[in-house]
Structure formats: structure tokens, C-alpha cells
Amino acid sequence: MISRLAEGPLHTLFGTFRELLYDDGHQESIALVMGQVEQGQDVFCRVHSQCLAAHVFNSLDCDCREQMALAQSLIAHHGRGLIIWLNQEGRGHGHLALMRSRALQAQGWSQTEAYQRLGYAADARDYTRAAEILQDLRVRSVRLLTNSPQKVQNLQAAGIHISSTHPLTVDPGTNERLRRRYAEKIQQGHRIPPEYT
């Protein structure tokens, strides 16, 4: 069971959020909250997994950094919403698995195929902590900021009422690595404009 440890203001490029630190006895999670979300309905919500390569090292292999910025910007524009950050790197397998998968991806395998060939599940992310944070904040329903139908299903299975979804898509421009990633995601049912592949 998750417990709230601390909270305070976090000043960002997109405005000031209330930062809440949670712990379940194994991992810490963070909620960034703007405006009144308690008892809220149709609250904009981004559930975002850690991506060290993108957030710290500006990797071109994914759009995690840009999706975080889009979520913060959208929430700031509307004046209400939250972002839940989960410590589950590499689709829940850790950074080592992510690094090992790159060699297979360089040979033409998709990220999903690379994980599976290495003996990992295609995606081991767990959204239980996100659901518990939303319950702690007494959020009644969310407008989930995601392209992923699997994330929607997992959160609904954890008891979260999702009133709608709102895609977060980045134009890859000349980034062919991201275009290839988007092509894979479209095959998995993600809501990404086909012109981005």
C-alpha cells in the first residue's frame, strides 16, 4: 500500500505544481498536481514512467521527454491536472534491459521483439501505484493523456474511471529513430497520426 511522505511546491517552466512524494516500501513515486483535483471529475492526468535516457541524456530513441513537456503544458493551460511519475524504467525491466535491447534493435528488431528475444515480457509496467495515488487524491475520473490503449486497460482494471483519453504526439521531423518507434506503436494500437511514421 502506498503512503504519502512529503509535499511542497515545484517551480517548473510550465508553472508551479504541488509535488507529492509517495512510497510503497519498495519504490518512490511522485505526483505533480496543479489546481484542485480532489473530488475532481474529468481531470487531465498523465501517468508517466521513468526514462533516464530521454529525461537526463536527451535520447532520440523515444518521445518521453517531449511527452512530459506536452503534459505539463496542457495541464498548465487548463489550470488543473496531475502527472504521476513511476519509477519503472525500460518498460518495467530496468535500464539494463533497455540497454541490452538496443543491440537487437540495431539489427532491425522492434523494441517489443528485442525484449522478448532477451527473455523479458514485452511490457512489465505496473500501474497499481498510479491507481493508489489517484485514490489517495480522491480523483473521481480522469482524462488520460496517453496514446496507449494498454495503459487505459491496465488503469481501468485497477479501478480508475477514465472518462476520455487525449493523445500526446510529437512530430518526429527528421528523427528516423522515432518514426520507426511510432510505426511499431501504431501496430500495437497506439493513437499516432500515420503521417508521423
pLDDT digits (tens, 9 = 90+) for 142-156: 999 998 888 999 999
Among 46, 125, 129, 143, the one annotated catalytic: 125
Q: Does the annotation count 123 as an active-site position?
A: yes
Q: What is the pLDDT of residues 89-142, one digit of tens each?
A: 766 667 787 788 787 777 877 777 877 887 877 776 889 999 999 999 999 999
Indicate if the pLDDT at residue 162 is higher than 70: yes
As assigned by CATH, the class of the 3-88+125-190 domain is: alpha beta
What pTM, to 2 d.p., does this model score?
0.87
> Could you tell me which of 139, 122, 138, 130 has the C-alpha nearest to residue 158?
130
Window from 12-21, 42-51, 108-117 with minimum mean pLDDT:
108-117
Question: How many Å apart are CA 32 and CA 168, to the nearest integer?
Answer: 18
125 has catalytic annotation: yes
195 sits in which H/E element: none
What is the SS3 assignment for 186?
helix
In what helix (H) or strand (E) does residue 179 lie, and over which residues does it extend?
helix 176-187
Maximal CA-CA distance, the chain: 49
What is the C-alpha to C-alpha distance for residues 34 and 12, in angstroms, rounded to an integer? Answer: 11
User: Is residue 197 very low, low, confident or very high in pLDDT (cuts 50, 70, 90)?
Assistant: low
Residue in 46, 63, 123, 181 annotated catalytic: 123
Which amino acid belongs to residue 101? S
pLDDT for 124 equals 65
